[in-house]
Structure 1
Amino acid sequence: MFGTSGVRGPVGEDVTAELALRIGRALGDRDRVVVGRDPRDSGRLLVDALAAGCRECGVDVVDLGVAATPTVARAVAWEGADVGVSVTASHNPAPDNGIKLWQPSGQAFDEPLREEVEARVRADDPDLAAWDGLGDRRTTDTTGRHAAALVEAVPPCERSVVVDVGNGAGGVTVDALTDLGCTVETLNAQPDGSFPGRPSEPTPENCESLAALVREGAADLGIAHDGDADRMRAVAGDGEFLSGDTLLAVLAADAAESGDRVAVPVDTSLAVEDFLAERGVETVRTPVGDVYVAAAAAEEGVAFGGEPSGAWIWPDETLCPDGPLAACRLTALDAERPLAERAADVPTYPIRRESIEADAKAAVMERVREAVAAEYDAADVSTLDGVRVDRGDGWFLVRASGTQPLVRVTAEARDPDRADALRETALALVEDSRRE
């Protein structure tokens, strides 16, 4: 039921008001819950159902209305609550919605906490309060407090910025950048959960209008968010939509000093590791998913955590991926030195990605693990998330999709021919495992 991103799926199928009610009841041992949602219209009834489930168990509910996910995560501590709930499907398409849970530290619920809530949902045996012990529900707006926190965390900067809000909940970025002294132009700024301006996920293809506006309008940089603004992607002043690995390298190099560590998922480019190593910064690999990156970022000596998909975590601020904070910090960096110049410093290596259909993906992965264990030195193999084999001059990763009947293959090397060879090796492993 609960993946690393909570419950997520099509409304009326995987995600229903009944499920939201039961999740609210499953949080019935808490005292106070903060809830907010992205602009999807289905979020209204899901919030109402979840709040009803909390309140009938005696839990008070603080309703933030439409709010960015990092605003919700930060508000757990601000409101003295025990849990935060984001009703959002993040970058997923409009027919989807979801429910993600947050701790007071800003970190998403880890696996033990998710399992605890899921067990209570399945048991469906809530401890309902008496008629005179029902929880309260009040509304408040913490977006302004989030914007103020960003302004406090980032130095003033006078830049020309185009922000593509993606019809989502990320308007806090516009407020914060304006308060920092920037001239801000917006795209798709009207919240609309049908995402009429562009699909919610901020990919190069979906952000072509942003790139063109930055390039032709001579803005200093462009910012793009997904529906709930936990993700941030960027366009440099020359109109180039920067890769997630390049952004990760640039942000991490600013956040970390020599001797620090940076948390990154197993599918991060080798270029990030090389770039940071030159600066005396070590990379720590985690499973894919911001909850795992956040857990690593919470450890001593880890100054930053990031995923190439657009999730960026500064543990000194919050353990939630905060897209608006990333937007403000990136803009401040651009004011010191143009983003295009910083990006040019980061090496680019050939990386190959493939997806292979596999209905029995768990069995395929088990056979891949066995084959790799028999062929490669254990010191070169990681099974942290899928199977990753380090060959010194490159690596390959075989990993089952968390949501689709696919096995994903990634291969990278500093040399194109070597990257192709590692790709073929990984594909052969998967194909052989499918035939067994």
Structure 2
Amino acid sequence: MAKFFGTNGIRGVFDEDFTLEFVHDMTLAIGTYFGKGPVLIGYDGRESSPVISKVVSSALNSIGIDCNVAGIVPTPCLEFAVKSLGYSGGLMITASHNPSQYNGIKPCASDGVEISREDELIIEDIYLQKKWLEKPVKWGVTGTENRAIEAYLKGIISHVDSKLIESKHFKVVLDLGNGAQAVSAPNFCELLDCETFLINQKIDGAFPGRGSEPTPQNLSELSKIVRENNADVGIAFDGDGDRSIFCDNKGDILTGDKSALVLTQHILKKNPNSLVVTCLNSGSNIEVLAEKFDSKVIRTKVGSVEVSRKMVPTGALIGFEENGGFMYGKHNQVRDGCMTLALMLDLLATSGKPLTEEIASLPPSFTTKDKIPCSAEKIPKLISSLKEEFPNSDISDGIKITLDSKNWVMIRPSGTEPIVRIYAESESQEKLDTLMSEYLEKVSSIISR
């Protein structure tokens, strides 16, 4: 079991469990794992990010590794730049959707994809044993990298019909969430001749607009601006810009599952006989859709690392999570909010239909999720109690209780916060509401014993 790496990188409350001393020593471990430079460093807009960046670069230099700093960039921009500009690895300083007091480190390998679970354990072992690279013959140097955003946007545009999109002059509402996509998504829309309306566009690590995580509850402003301007689509990004939640042309917020299904349908029409990778907590309609296009679905544990690292060896075309993380293998096998927006515009340009009509063409889907505060020590009792009650459940990642093919509940601890998440799918909204309230009550009761 990893001690420091969670579902997605290492995170903690800055200056409490995520101190500059910890950052320094963990960077030495990551640098030792990389073995050589150059390493690319990027960060989100959190107040602590610039000082962490300095500690990271000096720690790498102290073991002879050269690095370049790209400054504020979205996580997928850093990952794509590592791959396309020839870096040995990358370090993204971010706590993604966590509240402002958190920060973290997310390493990516030379292929531009997050490192594997096995490699996370190797880094942790180096850190615990303090077996870093010996004092170098020559110190490393730190420079700047100014090409990352341009390389990223060119890469995205190369995968869509840019001329067709330009000809449509789409109206797009961007809720940038005071996050890192503010440096790239508006430029991307401008390059494709979209009329753009911006919300929360000022980068601010306190995330004053709506918080760092887009949820159906905090996107009312996005819905309103879409309706008022008769926009074709709205999109909200999380703090580091790798996830995206969509709003259709009527102002309705889509679940991550729903937008993933409509994009998958669009991509598989052009690329049948493909492979899709998704997590255990995604809805069951992806199998229905894949079968329609002679494609297959592989399920993984929850977490973008699990999906990304399964996509690489299998050559999967599509990967996604229910939380709005969508991956397009032809670009990079990582979650990418701006690439996902590009695919949505490509879909709208190709079909010529409004997004509401495209959504209506999908098989009906009713999914939801919620969370309950829960300390780590209570998790084993929670899972074992549920396993006792439902002995045939899947316990490969938390516990997934399958009632039948259309009705299931999954309970798992968050890898980034002291909470337990509850996911559910049902055949109707009414049954879903009943199922969710039953299991929220059940889980709360076990935790409080």
The normalised TM-score by structure 2 is 0.88
* Deviation string, structure 1 residues 83-131 (Cα, Å, up to 9, x no partner): 111001111111111100111222211111111111222223433434x
Q: CA deviation at 1:250?
A: 0.8
Match of 1:364 in 2: 382
Correspondence for 2:394 among 382, 390, 394: 382
Per-residue deviation, 1:30? 2.6
- Within 1, Cα distance between the matches of 2:5 and 2:428? 40
Per-residue CA deviation, residues 219-244 of structure 1 (Å, 9 max, x unaligned), is 21112111111111111111111111
Q: CA deviation at 1:264?
A: 1.4
The aligned counterpart of 1:219 is 231
Q: Report the CA distance shift for 1:206/1:356 in structure 2 as closer, same or farther (over 3 A).
A: closer
Superposition map of 1:152-231 within 5 A: 152-156=158-162, 157=165, 158-170=169-181, 171-231=183-243
Matches within 5 A, 1:141-156: 141=146, 142-156=148-162
How far is the alpha carbon of 1:47 from its aligned partner? Answer: 0.7
Instruction: Check whether the contact 1:264–1:305 (CA below 8 A) recurs between aligned residues.
Output: yes
The equivalent of 1:344 in structure 2 is 360
Greater shift, 345-354 or 103-112, is seen at 345-354
Which residue matches 2:18? 15
Determine the structure 2 residue equivalent to 1:244. Answer: 256
State how far apart, in whole Å, the 2-side matches of 1:288 and 1:273 are. 17
Instruction: State percent identity of aligned pairs.
Output: 28
How many Å apart are 1:368 and its aligned residue? 3.1
1:120-151 Cα deviation digits (max 9, x unpaired): 22223433434x51001110121111111112
Query: Aligned letter for 1:255?
Result: I
Matched, 1:32 2:46: no
Q: Is the 8 A contact 2:319 2:333 kept in 1?
A: no
Given that 1:35 and 1:62 are in contact with CA atoms closer than 8 Å, whether structure 2 keeps it comes out as: yes
Query: Which deviates further from its counterpart, 360-369 or 150-159?
Result: 360-369
Distance 1:271 1:316 in 2: 23
Contact 1:360 1:405 in 2 (8 A): no
| SS, match of residue 105 in structure 1 | coil
Q: Is the 8 A contact 1:262 1:303 kept in 2?
A: yes
Alpha-carbon offset, residue 294 of structure 1: 1.0
The match for 2:53 is 47
Q: 1:435 to 1:187 in 2, by over 3 A?
A: closer
Q: 1:320 to 1:135 in 2, by over 3 A?
A: same
Moved more, 196-205 or 241-250: 196-205
Unaligned runs of 5+ in 2: none
How far residue 317 of structure 1 moved from its aligned partner, in angstroms, is: 1.2
CA separation of 1:404 and 1:175: change in aligned 2, threshold 3 A: closer
* Paired residue secondary structure (1:50): helix
Structure 1 stretch 229-238 or stretch 293-302: which is displaced more?
Answer: 293-302
Residues 182 and 59 of structure 1, relative CA distance in 2, 3 Å threshold? same
Hey, what does 2:412 align to over in structure 1? Answer: 399
Residues 7, 415 of structure 2: 8 Å contact kept: no
- Aligned CA distance change for structure 1 residues 397 and 33 (closer, same or farther; 3 Å): same
Counterpart Cα distance in 2 of 1:201 and 1:101: 21
**Distance verdict in 2 for CA 1:349–1:328, change over 3 Å:** closer
Relative to structure 2, which stretch is displaced further, 216-225 or 294-303?
294-303
Q: Post-superposition shift, 1:247?
A: 0.4
Show the counterpart of 2:108.
102
Query: Does the 8 A contact of 2:159 with 2:330 survive in 1?
Result: no
RMSD between aligned alpha carbons?
A: 2.5
Match of 1:290 among 304, 317, 323: 304
For the Cα contact (< 8 Å) 2:320–2:326, is it kept in 1?
yes
Distance 1:199 1:262, change over 3 A: same
Closer/same/farther in 2, CA of residues 401 and 152 from structure 1, 3 Å limit: closer
Amino acid in structure 2 at the alignment position of 1:232 = S
Please tell me whether the aligned partners of residues 74 and 318 of structure 1 are also in contact (alpha carbons under 8 angstroms): yes
Give the secondary structure class of the aligned counterpart of 1:382: coil
How many residues get paired? 429
Partners of 1:78 and 1:421 in 2: how far apart? 49
Which position in structure 1 is the counterpart of 2:288?
A: 274
1:304 pairs with 2:310? no
Over residues 254-300 of structure 1, what are the superposed CA-to-partner deviations in whole Å (9 max), with x where a residue is unaligned?
A: 22344323111111122343344444433322111111111222243
Q: Aligned partners of 1:220, 1:420: CA distance in 2, in Å?
A: 30
Counterpart CA distance in 2 for 1:435 and 1:242 is 33
The separation in 1 between residues aligned to 2:201 and 2:447, in whole angstroms, is: 46
Worse-matched range after superposition: 418-427 or 396-405: 418-427
Letter in 1 for 2:355: L
Q: 2:6 aligns with which of 3, 6, 21?
A: 3
Displacement of 1:371 in angstroms is: 4.5
Deviation at 1:301, TM superposition (A): 5.7
1:398 alignment partner AA: I
**What is aligned with 1:136?**
141
User: Could you tell me how far apart the structure 2 residues matched to 1:82 and 1:23 are?
Assistant: 17
Aligned with residue 336 of structure 2, among 301, 317, 322: 322
1:61-104 superposed Cα distances (whole Å, 9 cap, x missing partner): 11111111011111212332221110011111111111001112
CA distance in 2, matches of 1:176, 1:410: 34
State the Cα distance separating 1:422 from its structure 2 match. Answer: 5.7
Contact 1:258–1:279 (CA under 8 A) maintained in structure 2: yes
Residues 374-421 of structure 1, C-alpha deviation per residue, up to 9 Å, x if partnerless? xx3xxxx43331222432342232323334555444332214575577
Distance 1:83 1:371, change over 3 A: same
